[in-house]
Amino acid sequence: MSTTALRAGRDTRLHECLISIGSNIEPEMNVTRALSLLNSECDLVTHSQPIRTSPVGFLQQADFLNAALLVRTPLPYAAFRLYLKAVENRLGRVRGLNKSGPRTMDLDIVAWNGELMDQGYLEYDYVRLPIDEVLAASGRSLTIKHER
């Protein structure tokens, strides 16, 4: 995907996206690379400080470095989600049979235009703590729709 497609024209509506970042293969380098790449290709509003966390699910692997960031993009949700998967690939992500296994980079959309999209925010500290830091730093809040 062309990086120029991620820059907005003058009258283009920008969507705000909260992203959870995780890495446990050379995590310091890969989190830094992801932040740099997303900053150069998107409108990076702010990001959290990385935190080190224990793995969840598959425990026989290295600890993770997790962070969060808030970006603005003219891309619609589905296209931006595909873009993030392409960024993971560019950063060396190999998808194996074990979805909870080691990875160079994991980029997940947690909220889109202020609406919670990923229930991991409600379930896992490694998602919630960095996201809450970004929300506080940016003056944003989340809309959480409760299922009945």
Q: Which CATH number do you get for residue 128? A: 3.30.70.560
Is residue 47 in a domain?
yes
Range of the domain at 95: 15-138
Is residue 9 in a domain?
no
Is residue 147 in a domain?
no
9, 27, 55, 76, 120 from 82: Cα distances, Å: 21, 22, 25, 10, 19
How many whole angstroms separate alpha carbon 63 and alpha carbon 80? 28
Q: Is residue 62 over pLDDT 90?
A: no
How many whole angstroms separate alpha carbon 75 and alpha carbon 10? 14
Is residue 113 in a domain?
yes
pLDDT per position as a tens digit, 21-57: 999 999 999 999 999 999 999 999 999 999 998 888 7
Is residue 97 in a domain?
yes
Domain count, the chain: 1
Q: Which residues are identified as catalytic? A: 93, 103, 106, 108
Q: Is residue 144 over pLDDT 90?
A: no
pTM: 0.86
Is residue 102 in a domain?
yes
Residue 11: predicted pLDDT: 52
Is residue 145 in a domain?
no
pLDDT bracket for residue 80 (50, 70, 90):
very high
